[in-house]
Structure 1
Amino acid sequence: MLLSVAVFLALFTSSFAINFDFERIQLTEAETVDYPDIRFADQGAVPYEECKYLPEDDDWPQDEDWARFNETLGGALLKPLPLATPCYAGPLYNANICALLRMQWAFNTPLHASDPTSITSQWSSGYSCVPTSNPNSTCTQGGWPLYVVNATTARHVQLAVNFARNRNIRLAIKNSGHDFNGKTLGGGALSVWVHNLKGLTYYPNYTSPEYTGRAVAYAGGTSTAEASTLMLKNNFTMHVAGGSTVGIAGGWLQAGGHSSYTSQHGLAADNALQLEVVTADGRLVTASAKENPDLFWALRGGGGGNYGIITSVIMKAWERTTTVSGSIMFSTIPTRGTNQAALSSDTFWAGVREYFSYCIPIVDAGGLGYNFIRHTASGNVTGLSFQTSISLPNKSMAQYRAFVRPLLQRLNDIGIAVPIPAAKRHINPPMHSSLSPQPHHLDKRVVGELIPSAWIASRFFLRSSHSTPSGLDSMTNAIRSLIEEGGLTFHGINHAPTRNASGNADNAVLPAWRDAVLHAQGFAGDRHWDGTTIQRSFSDEKKEHDHLQKYMQKWRDVTPGSGSYQNEGDAQDPSWKEAFYGANYARLEGMKKTYDPWGVFWVIGGVTSDEWEVRGSSGGAGSAAGGIVTQDGRLCRVDFDGKRSI
């Protein structure tokens, strides 16, 4: 693993193309002369086939082909078995390891992040190999990639892209594995694992033609935790994801990337100054406002896994930001450890509506709201609970209390006695430490650590939904329906990446997000493995997915012209193009055909993903009865007009 953490203290630093030494290690054309499998796309014809090859096909690479490829990689080629393999009969069976896996599977995100193929959400693999206490059950490769390039240099990434393209093999990309839809998986795929591309450099006085100020260069595998350590050491702040193990150069950045500072500084995509990226032709190129500006536009908001593999990023930073946060909670059942009485259902929802009415002041103050409405129980009594954390930047404790006091008064006026929150001060984003928030305390955590393997869908509720009585009524009623009628769980993030906050950034971020005040998510409860229960059939999975979509339609009905955040949305949303990309889709589609005419990069819900389908998967998508898209099948073109080379 290559690791570089440096602080450059010169007065000014000029813009440059190579950020880290590992990017200087590149594939050369001379190496490809006698090795057609690794040639760049412009050095020869590329096969145009109906489907990507699988091991049972005659044209699948032979063992000696893989051996030569591994030698060229310097031994970086892996052939990993699924993470839960030790739970199954065979030479790798290990009861102790299996017991540990069963215990940690659902919520230990570092477990999945440090594995070459595993991800937090498992249904998209076809449930082919999950922890079990029955070693005689079945573990198969399923949707897990068959081979993995453990990339530690740009050359590794280039070799993987070229080999997959030239041999007509499905290509997958994994960073940290925080994945709700199976975008990082692929049956029979060659995967590029960028997790070990490491490097961090802080520039106190970075300058380029477009920007002068603080900046950070970070490698493709950098995590929130690593960036946060650098922030604390050097007294600055930058956008990072909500969970410590999330990679901040992959899908998080490329789909927009929200953070604790979104209402102040826009999205991560708005703050990216330069990207180094390996494109589908195998070349390492710079994307910036001056170099490949069209690619730069698409990579910032157009979604991960569509246009290339990022090896490094230069991101704006700013002076150290302190935040003050406190939590509010109320419930329809008695709250243990507090003096709060149980609320009636109507009073509870009136309280939720009052909170929603206060969200515009929160985001206009540069703040963040982070909330849940859950089904909860106390003894034999069941009901609903509302919890929210309100964070404000650069406020004193007194200013914070003054800010929240009008909201508390409104709640008290309708019969919800809420005390002034016990506020805390944070320097930069707090690291997350609690999965089960205590009363009046709610740590902000990445959603993937809270809803492992659950169905998730999302929608942006815009400023108009929060600013009029009718808008508030429609929004509250739609969310109430999802929870009370649907039996589902709500998670909301209040932030506002407005044009002004973004610095009028020109990128592919969904336009509707600029007017959002609530990033709302619905999901079908937490999914746990007890080690004995057989996973549900995919017909039952489809019923659950359809059930969620039924109530999401109510959200769509009251938010015309809005959309959703593709990283935390349902890639099988019937209107995914409008939801994820909006008016940008046509331009993104043209960019995709320009930069990847071969179809090297494919992810569900990605640009032009409807030109491909996964056939023969356990989810049953494409069958007469319909189904869900799992990744344990063969990736094929929907419309195929004949085998040829391009």
Structure 2
Amino acid sequence: MKAALLAIGVLAATTSANAKFCRCQPDQRCWPSDDSWARLNSSTDGNLVKVTPYALPCHDPTFNEAECTIAKTNSNSSSYRSSDPGALQWSNWEAWPEKDEQCYIETSKTTPCKQGRIPLFSVKAQEAKHIQEAVNFAAKHNLKLVIKNTGHDFVGRSSAPNSLQIFTHEMKEISILDDFVPTAPKNKRAPPGIKAVTLGAGVQLHEMYSYLGSRGLMVVGGTANTVGITGGYIQGGGHSLLGWLHGMASDNALEFHVVLADGSLVVANDYQNSDLFFALRGGGGGSFGVVVSATVKAHPDYPTVVATINYTTPIGAPYWDGVDALQKHILEINDKGGTGFYGLVPNTPISDSQTVSLMILSATFVNQTDTKAIEDLLAPVKSEIKDAIGLEPYFDVTALPSLSTYYSALLGENDTTGLQIRFASRLISRDLFKSGNHNKLTKAVSSLRYGPGDAIVGAIVAGGQVSENRDIESGLNPAWRDALVHVIAAHWMSPEMTFDQQKALEANITNVEVPLLKSLEPGKMGAYMNEADADETDFQESFWGDNYPRLREIKALRDPYDLFIVRKGVGSEDWDDSGLCRV
């Protein structure tokens, strides 16, 4: 295996200054022969498959009415899409605009279906050995490598053109450990054991919450059914409703088992491979290796109080006055243990002829049971919103026996995906709210462009222990320690939009909206890489701040020939947008 990596390194080093070093393409002599692919299939116990776009059966000349009906029926099902190597949760990342290639379920069957960014082959890994075989094969043949857990990614890291995919979806092991002790070399003493949970690479949040909730346990996790916890979620940091009590998901990681670029399977924790442990806790998914499993701290499945405030107004000034009245109290809510989300949908069509503006706050108070105290806390918020909009907002406070009960009710059976979406986002500091400048944030978000259904999400997922954990050494963006709210502007894209029209929308996000959000706190804060502008221009600073140089050094040491390159990941500045050629 080292010989294969050395060959790539020699090729890269000896390429002339006027030529590019590129991954091997299907039309080149370096592309693996049928016999080579057959050997990979054999070495992975028959788990190699050819991959086709999800919507292929809905297009000529391969149109199949029965298969197309199944595809259309399940097109917006996050669970169904997560189980298909040829599908992503957000279908704009299935297309390859630079080559005018797409295969959307919504377009007519006469529209040609092209492969786009969907990998050509996939190893449906069942165990670490299968991942090792795929990594070795990609290194030997100089192939573009892609890791897909669920495809729940907003910046295009789960796909790449003409690539080999490692599909970890079926690695579903969950183990509860009453007395977990990190693996340590003989010359190092590990700490006393603690309650922990080991999660396989394919475990999704809804599976984890169901399993742990039935056992009275919980871990720091996100708020979506089909996010894979060990993948980009925890490796990117992972914000959570539990953050106020226990910090980021990456703060709670105890150990990883990970396959590296040389094909080795190693353990990374505080006691061995500590550089990898640093990088895998916030350095970004898919950049340092393929995580086989992660062990994280276990917590009780706490009782939870959930408070809801919402209102609907005609489009206009009173709506934003109500938003400002809410944002005035965000700091106070968080200081009392409140986490959660508020959603702003200023352009909400409710009929063919009527459009309204909608605001929804869902505040979660974990490990609290006193509904009267929460009602008293939020009574001024409700009152000031009423004064601002001239209407009585809906208000409810409900006590639930456990956080898993809330997740079950909130998430339901499926997320609605299979759509096209792009984000602008920014972390907003506690200081901005403390200084009374919430109105600056209101003014900024009110000036953005809103198509039908476009939304602002204010994620109240910082403060508390997220801030208190600032002494933890990890790859996490240090801005999280000063943040209070993660603000996301979500823009929907129609499949009927041309690539040029999509490009114009994306350019507005990158060149107008992100700079506007940055201007709220110049030279401060950053963005959350998992929910950011996919074309962030200074992503190194925005996603990692002062941690980037160290992450870059770890990347160079652990993956010297850049086998693991993802869009806007560590080291990706040396590659084109698809990770196919050095630039």
- TM-based fold match above 0.5: yes
The residue identity in structure 1 corresponding to 2:488 is Q
* SS in structure 1 at match of 2:421: coil
- Which of 372, 381, 385 lines up with 2:354 in the alignment? 381
Write the distance in 2 (CA, Å) between the matches of 1:82 and 1:503.
Answer: 43
Farther-moved stretch of structure 1 (93-102 vs 216-225): 93-102
Q: Is the aligned partner of 1:164 residue 2:130? A: no
> Does the CA-based 8 Å contact 2:4-2:139 persist in structure 1?
no
Write the distance in 2 (CA, Å) between the matches of 1:213 and 1:504.
Answer: 21
Write the distance in 1 (CA, Å) between the matches of 2:270 and 2:412.
Answer: 33
Alignment of 1:364-379 (within 5 A): 364-374=335-345, 375-379=347-351
CA offsets, 1:291-346, max 9 Å, x none?
Answer: 1111100110000010011001110011221211121112223xxxxxxxxxx733
Q: Percent identity?
A: 30
Shift, 1:460, TM fit: 0.7
Write the distance in 1 (CA, Å) between the matches of 2:277 and 2:129.
Answer: 21
Q: Is the aligned partner of 1:555 residue 2:517? A: yes
> Does the CA-based 8 Å contact 1:486-1:548 persist in structure 2?
no
Shift, 1:229, TM fit: 1.9
Question: Which residue is equivalent to 2:582?
Answer: 637
Query: Measured at CA, do residues 381 and 559 of structure 1 come closer, stay the same or move farther in structure 2, by a change above 3 Å?
Result: same
- Which of 492, 497, 503 lines up with 1:542 in the alignment? 503
CA offsets, 1:567-589, max 9 Å, x none?
Answer: 11123111211111111111111
The residue identity in structure 1 corresponding to 2:362 is S
Q: Is the aligned partner of 1:196 residue 2:158? A: no
Shift, 1:210, TM fit: 4.0
Alignment of 1:42-121 (within 5 A): 45-47=7-9, 48-49=11-12, 50-90=21-61, 93-105=63-75, 107-121=76-90
Question: Which residue is equivalent to 1:412?
Answer: 386
- Which of 233, 251, 261 lines up with 2:232 in the alignment? 251
CA offsets, 1:410-438, max 9 Å, x none?
Answer: 3234444235415242512456689xxxx
Write the distance in 2 (CA, Å) between the matches of 1:403 and 1:570.
Answer: 35
Write the distance in 2 (CA, Å) between the matches of 1:430 and 1:245.
Answer: 17
RMSD: 2.5
| Unmatched tracts of structure 1, length 5 or more | 1-38, 334-343, 435-442, 530-534, 615-630, 639-646
Write the distance in 2 (CA, Å) between the matches of 1:426 and 1:544.
Answer: 44
CA offsets, 1:205-235, max 9 Å, x none?
Answer: 3345346432101111111122112212211
The residue identity in structure 1 corresponding to 2:226 is T
- Which of 117, 136, 143 lines up with 1:143 in the alignment? 117
Shift, 1:254, TM fit: 0.4
> Does the CA-based 8 Å contact 1:52-1:168 persist in structure 2?
yes
* SS in structure 2 at match of 1:225: helix
Shift, 1:145, TM fit: 0.5
* SS in structure 2 at match of 1:163: helix
* SS in structure 1 at match of 2:369: coil
Question: Which residue is equivalent to 2:208?
Answer: 227
The residue identity in structure 1 corresponding to 2:355 is T
Question: Which residue is equivalent to 1:401?
Answer: 375
Alignment of 1:357-368 (within 5 A): 357-368=328-339
CA offsets, 1:436-486, max 9 Å, x none?
Answer: xxxxxxx469997469311112111111221123x2121111111115699
The residue identity in structure 1 corresponding to 2:498 is S
Write the distance in 2 (CA, Å) between the matches of 1:430 and 1:45.
Answer: 53
Q: Is the aligned partner of 1:591 residue 2:554? A: yes
Write the distance in 1 (CA, Å) between the matches of 2:192 and 2:335.
Answer: 25
Query: Measured at CA, do residues 86 and 451 of structure 1 come closer, stay the same or move farther in structure 2, by a change above 3 Å?
Result: closer
Write the distance in 1 (CA, Å) between the matches of 2:532 and 2:560.
Answer: 27
Write the distance in 2 (CA, Å) between the matches of 1:518 and 1:97.
Answer: 44
* SS in structure 1 at match of 2:458: strand
Query: Measured at CA, do residues 68 and 104 of structure 1 come closer, stay the same or move farther in structure 2, by a change above 3 Å?
Result: closer
* SS in structure 2 at match of 1:477: helix
The residue identity in structure 2 corresponding to 1:346 is A
Query: Measured at CA, do residues 484 and 229 of structure 1 come closer, stay the same or move farther in structure 2, by a change above 3 Å?
Result: closer
Write the distance in 2 (CA, Å) between the matches of 1:185 and 1:608.
Answer: 17
Query: Measured at CA, do residues 499 and 431 of structure 1 come closer, stay the same or move farther in structure 2, by a change above 3 Å?
Result: closer
Q: Is the aligned partner of 1:600 residue 2:583? A: no
Shift, 1:376, TM fit: 1.5
CA offsets, 1:13-32, max 9 Å, x none?
Answer: xxxxxxxxxxxxxxxxxxxx
Question: Which residue is equivalent to 2:537?
Answer: 574
Q: Is the aligned partner of 1:564 residue 2:564? A: no
* SS in structure 2 at match of 1:179: coil
Question: Which residue is equivalent to 1:474?
Answer: 440
Query: Higher helix fraction: Structure 1 or Structure 2?
Result: 2
> Does the CA-based 8 Å contact 2:89-2:419 persist in structure 1?
yes
Shift, 1:72, TM fit: 1.7
Q: Is the aligned partner of 1:453 residue 2:450? A: no
| Unmatched tracts of structure 2, length 5 or more | 13-20, 183-189
Query: Measured at CA, do residues 345 and 212 of structure 1 come closer, stay the same or move farther in structure 2, by a change above 3 Å?
Result: farther
Question: Could you state the TM-score of these two structures normalised by the residue count of structure 1?
Answer: 0.81
Shift, 1:528, TM fit: 5.5
Question: Could you state the TM-score of these two structures normalised by the residue count of structure 2?
Answer: 0.89
Question: Which residue is equivalent to 1:122?
Answer: 91
Shift, 1:273, TM fit: 0.3
Shift, 1:499, TM fit: 4.9
* SS in structure 1 at match of 2:554: helix
CA offsets, 1:495-536, max 9 Å, x none?
Answer: 2155554384221110111111111111213x466xxxxx42
Alignment of 1:342-353 (within 5 A): 345-353=316-324
Write the distance in 1 (CA, Å) between the matches of 2:419 and 2:240.
Answer: 20
Shift, 1:167, TM fit: 0.9
Query: Measured at CA, do residues 478 and 448 of structure 1 come closer, stay the same or move farther in structure 2, by a change above 3 Å?
Result: farther
> Does the CA-based 8 Å contact 1:373-1:491 persist in structure 2?
yes
The residue identity in structure 2 corresponding to 1:348 is Y
Query: Measured at CA, do residues 523 and 324 of structure 1 come closer, stay the same or move farther in structure 2, by a change above 3 Å?
Result: same
Query: Measured at CA, do residues 500 and 511 of structure 1 come closer, stay the same or move farther in structure 2, by a change above 3 Å?
Result: closer
Write the distance in 1 (CA, Å) between the matches of 2:551 and 2:350.
Answer: 50
> Does the CA-based 8 Å contact 1:359-1:369 persist in structure 2?
no
CA offsets, 1:155-201, max 9 Å, x none?
Answer: 11111111101210100000011012221111111110011112111
- Which of 268, 276, 280 lines up with 2:257 in the alignment? 276
Question: Which residue is equivalent to 2:158?
Answer: 184
CA offsets, 1:346-369, max 9 Å, x none?
Answer: 332222112112111222223213
The residue identity in structure 2 corresponding to 1:376 is T
Shift, 1:132, TM fit: 4.4
* SS in structure 2 at match of 1:249: helix
Shift, 1:203, TM fit: 1.9
CA offsets, 1:534-591, max 9 Å, x none?
Answer: x422211110111223122111111221111111112311121111111111111111
* SS in structure 1 at match of 2:230: coil
* SS in structure 2 at match of 1:330: strand
> Does the CA-based 8 Å contact 1:241-1:446 persist in structure 2?
no
> Does the CA-based 8 Å contact 2:305-2:397 persist in structure 1?
no
> Does the CA-based 8 Å contact 1:263-1:364 persist in structure 2?
no
